[in-house]
Amino acid sequence: MLDEMTSRAHILVRTYSHMFPDRPRYDELSEDEHKALIYAASQQL
């Protein structure tokens, strides 16, 4: 279970870095940006 959680977190961070390359990670996403990020990351599972 921990391996799966680690894998999902890695995908989420990688997707975030790809979608928002110059944006600091601590900046809050809008609701639409968050939904787009989750959707894009879920497509990689």
Q: According to the model, what pLDDT value does residue 43 have?
A: 96
According to the model, what pLDDT value does residue 25 have? 83
Q: What is the pTM of this model?
A: 0.84
> Which long-range contacts (C-beta less than 8 Å, at least 24 apart) are formed by 4-8?
8/41, 8/45
Cα angle 32, 34, 39; round to 5: 95
pLDDT one-digit tens code per residue, 1-45: 889 999 999 999 999 999 999 999 889 999 999 999 999 999 998
pLDDT at res. 33: 98
